[in-house]
Amino acid sequence: MKIGGNFPGFDISAKGMSVQRQRMNLIAENIANADVTRTADGQPYKRKFLVVSEKQNTFSGNLMQQTGTLRLATTDQAHIAMPAEVPGQPGGGTGLVSKEMVDQKMGDVVYMPDSPDADKNGYVQESNVNIVTEMVDMISATRSYEANLTALDSSKQMVKDSLGI
């Protein structure tokens, strides 16, 4: 979500809120599927989580990304190689990359011989979702979302106050 234009504070807060919304969606999916012992592939549901990392750009790539046209004068073309295309979003951005991952840990194995998902010995492998962990993650995501919203409101107020000068 890009809303800032010439105000990067808006973009940073919006990206932060977007990431926290993605986390909340995954947490909600995990809680909803916590008791699923067999998915379409025949395995128990595996917990999903979001990994957020910084996009790795070169110095020259960041320079081109911020300005779009600025070129450095160099004595040797091999000193700073300027890319033909700017990586990432045109005109800037927060540089965050989020990726959905699946937790490969095994869930608990419980003896339930009457379950249709039981193996030949009567054991059922449960999902690896821990509701307490998901609730803690949900509180963390909610607080982070609120912090980004507060930062967005502060940026908006600063712009509004500067227009009143």
What length is written for the chain?
165
b/e code 110-139 from CB counts within 10 Å (16+ = b): eeeeeeeebeeeeebbbbbbbeeebeebbe
**Extents of the domains making up the chain:** 8-46+105-163
| pTM metric for this prediction | 0.70
> 38-86 pLDDT, tens per residue?
899 989 999 999 998 877 666 666 666 655 555 556 666 666 555 444 4
**pLDDT of 80:** 56
Position with higher pLDDT, 114 vs 2? 114
